Chains A and B, each alone.
Chain A
Amino acid sequence: MSYYDVDAILTDSQKLPCTFELDVPGLGYLEGNVGGMVKAGTKIDLPMWLGIMLAVSTGNAPDSSQLVTLDFPTPLQQRVINALKADPRTVDLRAQAPHFYALGARIMELFDDTAVLDTLINTFKMRAAEIADQAHNPRGALGDGAEFLRGLDETERQLFKAAHEGPKAVRAWTQDLKKIT
C-alpha cells in the first residue's frame, strides 16, 4: 500500500463503529456536542485510521484498558456475509463500500475471523470468473450484465478493465494484420 495511493487513502477514511471505554473530556465534537465530553459506552462512527489508532493505544497506566473497542463495519456484518455465502454474484458490493475488499483486508488484520476471510476470498474468486465472462461478452455491459457491473467494487473494476483490454489488444492486432496487406 503506497503512501500516495488514492484507493488506500479512501479505504482508510471509511467509517468504523467504535465504542468508547473511557470518559474522554473535550472529544464531544465527534458526536456533535462541541466542548462536551464523550462518556464511556458511547458508540461513534470514526474513520478507520482514527479508530484503529485509538483501539491499539492504551492509557498511561500499565493495566488500563483500551480507549475504544472496535466493531465490524456494516459492509462486513453477518447479514452481508450471509448474502455473499448464498450467492456472491447478486450482492451489490459497491453499495456496501466502494473499496469493499480493501476494507475487508484491513479489518481482517484486526479481527482474526477465518470464516469471514474465507467467504471474502471465495466471493472474490466467484465474482472474478463472472467478471471474465462479462468482459468477453461484447454485449455484457449493456444487457443483463449491467446490473452486476454496476455493483463491482474498485478492485473488481480494475479487474474488469484488465480482462477487457487483453482480448481487445489481440483483436486490434488481428485487424491490423488484415489492414497492412
Chain B
Amino acid sequence: MAFSNPPGLLPTEVAFLCEMEQVTIVPRQRLERLDLLGGTTRPLIPPQRTNLPLWLAILLKRQRRANIVPPPWLYVESLEEILELETKHFQTSFSLPPAPSSVARQTDFTGKSFYASTPFVESCTASAVPNALPYHWFEMSEMLLDAASDDISDPDRVRQLLRDVREVRLAKMRKEVELLSGDGEGTRLDGVGAMELAESRGFLTGVIDGLRKIDASREQARRDREDEERENRRYNDEDDDDEEDNEMT
C-alpha cells in the first residue's frame, strides 16, 4: 500500500533536520568531549564559546548548563532590516539567503568543487550573517524562542517581527500562483525557508498539477510537433550519412 503521507517533508521532519544545525553556546559547567554520530564535540570549558548541534544546545540549556548565543539575525535590529529588505527591496521575490561563503566552497573526492549547504555551513552560529535569513530560520527561531527566550534580547519584539516577516513572505508565496503556467515553466523560490516550503508544497504542487492537466491537450500537441521535428532531423541526418558513406566507398 502506498505511503500515506503527502510528498515532501512534514513540519516535524523539517524541525528534526533543523536540530542538526550548529549554534553557539556559552557553557556554565565543564563537560568532557562527547562522541556523537556526527563527530566528537570539543570539551566544554566555561566561559569559552563553542558550537554545538541545536538539539544538544537545547538539552544543556534546559539543564541550565549552558547559555545559547542567538544567531546575529535573531536580533531586533537585524530583523527590522530584514523586514525592510523584504518589503522595500524585494517586492516580488523573496529576500536573498545568506551568500555562500568561501568556507562553503569545498572539493569532493574527485577534486570537483561544490558549495556545501545547510547543515554543513554555519548559518545559525554567532558568526552568521546578520541581514539574511538562513534555510532553517523559522524552525530555528521558534525553537530558540521556546527553549532559550531569556538569552534573546527583547523576545516579544523579536517574536512580533518574525511574525511580520512570515506574513510578508506568505503573501509573496500566494502571488507566485499567478506566475505559474501549465507549460512546464516554473517559478523561482530562492531564499525560501524549509518550513515555508513544507507549508506551501501541497498547495503549489496542486496548482501546477491542475494547470498541467488542463493544458494537457496543448502539451500533447507540442510534444507531437517536437517528435516530428526530431524525426525529420534524423531523416535528414541519415541522408547526409548515406552521402558520406558513398563518398568513402
Binding site for B on A (CB under 8 A): 101-102, 104-105, 108-109, 112, 114, 117, 120-121, 124-126, 128-129, 132-133, 135-136, 155-156, 158-159, 162-163, 165-167, 169-170, 172-174, 176-178, 181
Contact = CB atoms under 8 A, between A and B. Distances in A.
B210 A170 contact: no
Nearest to B203: A163
Contacts of B199: 166-167, 169-170
A92 B196 CA distance: 31
Nearest to B197: A166
B214 interface: yes
B215 A117 contact: yes
Interface residues of B, number: 38
Contacts of A167: 199
Given A121-B181, A173-B11, A174-B142, A166 B215 contact: no
27 contacts: A101-B213, A105-B214, A105-B215, A108-B218, A109-B216, A112-B217, A121-B181, A121-B215, A124-B207, A125-B177, A126-B178, A128-B177, A129-B177, A132-B203, A135-B203, A136-B170, A155-B213, A162-B6, A165-B202, A166-B198, A169-B10, A169-B11, A170-B199, A172-B11, A173-B15, A177-B15, A181-B147
Interface string B208-239: 00110111111011000000000000000000
Contacts of A162: 6, 202-203, 205-206
Interface in B123-162: 142-143, 146-147
B122 to A, nearest CB: 23
Interface of B: 6, 10-12, 15, 62, 142-143, 146-147, 170, 174-175, 177-178, 180-182, 195, 198-203, 205-207, 210-211, 213-218, 220-221
A149 B129 CA distance: 44
**Closest 9 pairs (CB-CB, A-B):** A162-B202, A163-B203, A173-B11, A108-B217, A166-B199, A109-B217, A159-B206, A162-B206, A128-B207
Contacts of A128: 177, 207, 210
Classify the secondary structure of A's interface with B. helix
A53 to B, nearest CB: 18
Contacts of B62: 181
Nearest to A104: B214
Contacts of A129: 174-175, 177-178
Contacts of B6: 162, 165
Contacts of A170: 11, 195, 198-199
Contacts of B10: 169
Given A166-B199, A166-B200, A124 B142 contact: no
Contacts of B198: 166, 169-170
A53 B147 CA distance: 65
Given A132-B174, A170-B199, A172-B11, A125 B207 contact: yes
Nearest to B208: A128
Contacts of A105: 213-217
Nearest to B166: A170
Contacts of A108: 214, 216-218
A174 B182 CA distance: 35
A74 B210 CA distance: 22
Contacts of B12: 169, 173, 176
Contacts of A165: 6, 202
Nearest to A107: B217
Contact of A125 (B180, B200, B206, B218): B180
Nearest to A166: B199
A163 B203 CA distance: 5
B10, B195, B210, most chain A CB atoms within 10 A: B210
B214 A120 contact: yes
A156 B213 CA distance: 13
